[in-house]
Amino acid sequence: MGKGNGALGASKGKANPGRASILALGKAFPPQLVLQDYLVDSYFKDTSCDDLDLKRKLTRLCKTTSVKTRYVVMSEEILKKHPELAMEGQATIKQRLEICNKAVTDMAIEASQAAIKNWGRPLSDITHLVYVSSSEARLPGGDLFLARGLGLSPHTQRLMLYFMGCSGGVAGLRVAKDLAENNPGSRVLLVTSETTIIGYKPPSAHRPYDLVGVALFGDGAGAMLIGADPVLAIERPLFELHTATQKFIPNTQNVIDGRMSEEGISFTIARELPQIIEDNIGSFCETFLQTVGLHEKEYNKIFWAVHPGGPAILNKLEKRLELLPKKLKASRRALMDYGNASSNTIVYVLEYMVDESLKTKMGGGEIEEWGLILAFGPGISFEGILARNLSV
């Protein structure tokens, strides 16, 4: 990777002046842990559904997702208080938002506190807040409630990114990078928080994709601290952020379709989504490789931090780019442990990458310095950031 280092003026393992880095990570989850092996029976019991065909279908889906555990806000207590959430055709948007708005704020505060603790600097040093969620809707927005709950200064500059779906975490990281690099001395707190209650519904043959969501999605929050010119006596930079790019694929706006209604949010996702990602991933990543002095097909010379939208997407990407199985280990691990937690999941992937890098380093193995942070969302939108692993 020496050629790439020279091309970007980087000193291995050291942060470049003026370049933004991820300085800390944090996460939080609601208290309800869902074991995939028991999900089908509990879901059909909670929704008072006895449709055996749908139950068999969900059982098959649960076996294909590779998810083992997830965390969810939904609980017996909530369903007891709001049984209408498990009934077909009920106008429940008010109840859902009351639950979601509080839940995402609580999780966002907890994840932020974890990241700030790992960061090591005082709360008062945070200058900007970027808040990401597709699970709430209110004015003022969740950014204000998060800032108030944390005790941030009223002068903290806030920005919200709403309803970006699975790409929201990397989109927020792109925005946080720009803020950090264009405001010397700044420290940006990026927070994502999501809950599936906004779309929780009983099984229905008229909404086949809902079962995919039940089998795949989870709740939680993630947080990162981003800043340039780290104070090395206090801060520990994890990943330095270089080129950040967003691209939408023309004529794919209906492939991921989310609609808010009186019953909450409903999604449909076309079967061709994994194939669309496979068909376009090579051209999207090519420029990144050129930047670090690599050629087409040299994908195994970099690391991959990919939002795990689902096993089919990871499988297609692995196949098209001819990646070694270990390249998507962190993504598959995050999917197995937390499910697809929408915008949050990239935080969990990066945390696992740090963990694996340290283990590899301690074992005397080689760690790829350069890599890509990727996510895919509605649009179909591709989000990508070229990054350096500073733990090497």
Q: What are the tens digits of pLDDT across the range 330-364?
A: 999 999 999 999 999 999 999 999 998 888 888 87
Give me the number of domains the chain comprises: 2
Q: Which residues neighbour 80 within 8 Å (Cβ) at sequence distance 6 or greater? A: none
Domain assignment of residue 14, yes or no: no
The CATH number covering residue 373 comes to 3.40.47.10
Range of the domain at 375: 2-7+238-389
Burial 217-247, CB ≥16 within 10 A → b, else e: bbbbbbbbbbbbbbeeeebbbbbbbbbbeee
pTM value is 0.94
DSSP H helices in 27-133: 36-46, 52-64, 76-81, 93-119
Indicate whether 244 and 339 sit together in one domain: yes
Say if residue 266's pLDDT is above 90.
no
Domain assignment of residue 233, yes or no: no
Domain assignment of residue 12, yes or no: no
Residue-level pLDDT at 198:
95
Indicate whether 246 and 349 sit together in one domain: yes
Indicate whether 106 and 180 sit together in one domain: yes
Q: Which residues neighbour 86 within 8 Å (Cβ) at sequence distance 6 or greater? A: 46, 47, 48, 79, 200, 201, 202
Residue-level pLDDT at 392:
64
pLDDT tens-digit map of 134-168: 999 999 999 999 999 999 999 999 999 999 999 99
Residue-level pLDDT at 319:
95
Instruction: Using the Cα atoms of residue 231, residue 237, residue 241 and residue 246 in order, give the sign of their dihedral.
Output: negative
Say if residue 182's pLDDT is above 80.
yes
pLDDT band with cut points at 50, 70 and 90 for residue 2? very low
Residues taking part in catalysis: 166
Nearest Cα residue to 340 out of 192, 220, 184: 220
Indicate whether 36 and 182 sit together in one domain: yes
